[in-house]
Amino acid sequence: MTALPFPLADAPEPDAAERGRKLFAGPIEFLKGVVAMDGLPPDDRVEICFAGRSNVGKSSLINALTNRKGLARASNTPGRTQEINYFTLGDGHYLVDLPGYGYAEAPVKIVARWQSLLKTYLAGRASLRRAFVLIDARHGVKPVDEEIMSLLDGAAVTFEAVLTKADKIKPKDRERVLAQVRQSLARHPAAFPEILLTSSETGEGLATLRAVVAGLA
């Protein structure tokens, strides 16, 4: 039997799961919101970032991962997060919440500024170890997701697809969406060869994602 390209990530081994649990159970603090490259903190830590189109559930996922209900600001308004938000994760990581893309209700000038900042950040941050590109499990990869993945390809930043809201999709539809996501990822050389399936509501996949982040130290 031929293995599927971009398989779903396996549940972590107990030791890896415990490292992930300890990392996210430790001190996590909001550091700063950055609106220009000269505001970035020193690149002296392992850095991971979360990117996703507006309302993909990024803030909810970050809050669920960290078990801190209000750490990242969730909003039903597309384009609400207008900064690169930095969080310290333990003593050795930065967790970075990137502005949402696909800004349906944001002014054109604001969109252009966010896009420019995002492109410059992704292309020029030496300490960035992995980007996690969030994709709504109900809808699969959209054109705006293709754009950010192509940007990551060009910046040679490894990214891993994280499907959010897994509890909102019926089992019979899951394989169809996964097939579409795999087809898309196959076109991107910077794509990490596995997919994470998560739910902020049920906790599905959170231990795996925590272990992946801890393993990047």
The CA distance from 158 to 139, in Å, is 23
- Residue 102 confidence (pLDDT): 67
Dihedral, CA of residue 94, residue 161, residue 166 and residue 60, to nearest 10: 20
Each residue's pLDDT tens digit, 61-92: 999 999 988 887 654 444 445 788 999 999 99
Helix (H) or strand (E) holding 132: strand 128-136
Per-residue pLDDT of the chain (217 residues; tens, 9 = 90+): 345 689 999 999 999 999 999 999 999 999 999 888 889 999 999 999 999 988 899 989 999 999 988 887 654 444 445 788 999 999 999 999 988 776 555 667 776 777 788 888 888 788 999 999 999 999 999 998 998 899 899 889 999 999 999 999 998 899 999 999 999 999 999 999 999 999 999 999 999 999 999 999 7
Dihedral, CA of residue 57, residue 60, residue 65 and residue 71, to nearest 10: 140
Global confidence as pTM:
0.91
Each residue's pLDDT tens digit, 169-196: 998 899 999 999 999 999 999 999 999 9
Dihedral, CA of residue 26, residue 167, residue 100 and residue 192, to nearest 10: 70
C-alpha triplet 58, 35, 198: angle, nearest 5° = 10
Residue 90: closest CA among 214, 209, 215: 214
Multiple choice CATH, 24-214, 3.40.50.300, 3.90.1150.10, 1.10.10.350, 3.10.180.10 = 3.40.50.300
Residue 169, C-beta contacts closer than 8 angstroms, at least 6 positions apart: 137, 138, 177
The CA distance from 62 to 135, in Å, is 14
